[in-house]
Amino acid sequence: MSDDAAPPPPNPFDDFVYPGYAYWFTHPDHLGLLAWLHYLEPAPASACRVLELGCGDGGNLLSLAQALPESRFVGVDLAGEPIYRGLALAGDLGLDNVDLRQADVRDLLAWPDDDLGSFDFIVAHGLFSWVPDDVREAVLAVIRRALAPNGVAVVSFNAYPGMHDYEALRHFMRFHSLTYAPEERVKGARDGGLWYAAQIATMAPEIKGALMQRLYTSLERSSDALIRHDYLAENEQSFWFTDFMERAQRHGLAFLTNAKPTVLRLAHFSPEHAELLRGVTDPIRQQQYMDFLANTRFRVVALCRAEARLERSADLGRFAGLALEDRAHTDVWAEELRDDEKVTLETPHGLVELSGRPLRIALSVLHAAAPRALTLEELLARTIPELARFGADDGLAANEDGRAQLGAWLTRELVAVWFQGLVHLWHEPPDLAAAVPERPQTGPLQRERARERATVPSLAHREEPLDALERAVLALCDGARTGVEIARELGERDVGEVLARLHRLAFFAPG
Ligand SMILES: C[S@@+](CC[C@H](N)C(=O)[O-])C[C@H]1O[C@@H](n2cnc3c(N)ncnc32)[C@H](O)[C@@H]1O
């Protein structure tokens, strides 16, 4: 560096810990499945290469690296401290398929091809909206350069129009926090933001009451790290979807789909809105109209190379080889519910009503197998006799044609509930215990996280909030102790229920 070169600006991620988490929608099995449904054939999750830009402390990559030992994971982050923490943990866990490097995304473009490499999946989560514009350009350029021909990249960003709702509050918090000493700024921003939201809700209840109440609750629940790195971020910028896609297209990238199946599909709109949206044939304009109607404020977009040959119409035949995992977490055909016309489920994506008996029976069969996934064929083979048993098959289960008809009908229904988050689809589901093993065993990463954090990534790469007892139990699930021994060690009478819940949440490997 020459004497007069300006020192790099301090990176807030070096001195204010932002813990990294497992993000299920970045799992290569899920991204690969989204691509495969559009007739792309990326590498299988069990033998792929993944790059994460702005990987922080590797919270996402370490969980994937443990789950997929034959795949390789490279993470890059500008901040040295989180990289150092991530490398230390990877070393302790003996993970030799993950490489975390301190580097600026902008500098990756100068790396020779052999150093950068080619990746089947590239993740840039929580980065694009929070960096200067030249870093955004570099993110897209790196993706274009390093993405394998059938690869998938996932990029998230704050979006308009929903982010407009937040802007006054965020500006207030930033403005007000500057009256505090640096070490008090996060607290000052939170207290100030809560005060401001409450004032506006009271002073303008008819115009902004409900909105400010919602922002108040969301702010109350935000961690200090989120307040520092999101509300007080120096470079925060939201985007209209069309503007984001224009940039991505300039870099030779195309819209594949939304990474989360539970948002922004025609299935999520009222029949009248879906009809109007169906009339917009350009997928990008259609998505933008969806954002207007849904007031989207955060997007997780899956991209592919512009020259990839995509097929947008969904062929139900494609689903035949997939496995389904229960995410309803309720037996919707439990004996006490059977006389009810319909079951209403409260899900993280809103209320879902289930009325058809065949679908409820299929979901109940899936629930009985949870947390293990069943292939669609297995599920249908187990469900169809149950339909006949309950007289819910319209007499179709008796012959082959009828069974095929039932199978096709159920497949359509099961895909529809995938969009509602009631099932998760896998190409290669994780290998999980069928029941609580005599000596329960979770992964070394899970035991480590359980000792230090309120949320722990499951073996299915989902960050699960656990209470203190669940975490204490999980930390001891090393395959050497029985449930009774774990209870004794913790001074508890019985931990059977805790083990059952941890089992349901996909924390145990087969015994
Ligand atoms: C909000 S955090 C997100 C971390 C992680 N991806 C997640 O979602 O949990 C953003 C990360 O991007 C990193 N970052 C910011 N500018 C960068 C750059 N120019 N090159 C590489 N990483 C950068 C920061 O250091 C920080 O770790």
Q: Does residue 127 have its Cβ closer than 6 Å to ligand 1?
A: yes
Both structure tokens of 474: 């999980």
Among 52, 78, 133, residue to substitute to test ligand 1 (most atoms within 8 Å of Cβ): 78
Q: Does ligand 1 come within 6 angstroms of the Cβ of 128?
A: no
Residue 1's pLDDT is: 38
Alpha carbon of 122 to ligand 1 centroid (Å): 14
Please name the residue that has the structure tokens 């009451």.
209
Which residue is listed with tokens 């519910």?
337
> What is the phi/psi pair of residue 98, to 5°?
-130, 135
pLDDT at 11: 67
State the closest ligand 1 atom to the C-alpha of 11, by its place in the atom list counted from 1.
25
Q: Please tell me the predicted confidence (pLDDT) of residue 3.
A: 45
Determine the distance separating the centroid of ligand 1 and the alpha carbon of 451, expressed in angstroms. 25
DSSP state at residue 487: H
Ligand 1 midpoint to CA 394 (Å)? 55
Verify whether ligand 1 is closer than 6 Å to residue 86 (CB atom): no
pTM for this model (two decimals): 0.92
Q: Whose CA is nearest to atom 17 of ligand 1?
A: 78
Q: If you measure from the C-alpha of residue 320 to the centroid of ligand 1, how many angstroms do you get, rounded to a whole number?
A: 38
Shortest-distance atom of ligand 1 to CA 21: 9
Please count the other Cβ atoms lying within 10 Å of the Cβ belonging to residue 271: 8
Q: 217 C-alpha vs ligand 1 centroid, how far in Å?
A: 26
- Contact of 510 with 432, CB cutoff 8 Å: yes
Q: How many Å apart are CA 410 and CA 381, to the nearest integer?
A: 12
Query: From CA 52, how far away is CA 287, in angstroms rounded?
Result: 25
How far is 104 from 119, CA to CA, in rounded Å? 18
Buried b (16+ CB within 10 A) or exposed e, 283-310: ebebbbbbbeebebbebbbbbbbeebee
Q: What is the Å distance from ligand 1's center to 162 Cα?
A: 23
Pairing of strands 323-326, 423-426: antiparallel
Tokens representing 240 are 């209209």
The dihedral sign for the CA sequence 498, 503, 505, 506? positive
Q: For residue 349, what are the β-bridge partners?
A: none
Task: DSSP letter for 196, please.
Answer: H
H-helix segments, 328-375: 357-369
- Of 356, 355, 358, nearest to 405 by C-alpha is 358
Q: How far is the CA of 125 from the centre of ligand 1 (A)?
A: 8
Nearest to 99 by CA among 116, 117, 76: 76
Q: Which CATH number fits domain 23-160+238-263+296-305: 3.40.50.150, 3.40.605.10, 3.40.50.280, 3.30.420.40?
A: 3.40.50.150
Amino acid at 323: A
Q: How far apart are CA 33 and CA 24, in angstroms?
A: 13
The rounded Å distance from CA 13 to ligand 1 centre is 8
In three-state secondary structure terms, 490 is helix
> CB of 135 closer than 6 A to ligand 1?
yes
Cα 12 from Cα 54, distance rounded (Å): 13
Does the beta carbon of 56 lie inside 6 Å of ligand 1? yes
Q: Which parts of 150-282 fold into alpha helices (H)?
A: 164-177, 185-203, 205-221, 224-226, 241-250, 271-278
Ligand 1: residue whose CA is nearest its atom 11: 54
Cβ(13) – ligand 1 distance below 6 Å = yes
CA of 229 to the centre of ligand 1 (A): 10
What does the pLDDT read at residue 234?
A: 77
Question: Mean pLDDT, 10 residues at a time, over the chain (511 residues)?
Answer: 52 69 97 94 96 97 98 96 96 97 95 87 96 96 96 97 89 91 90 90 84 88 84 87 98 97 90 94 95 94 95 80 93 90 87 90 96 94 91 85 88 92 96 96 98 96 97 98 97 96 97 77
CA pair distance 76, 80, nearest whole angstrom: 10
Tokens of 126: 């929580």
Q: 159: which DSSP letter?
A: B
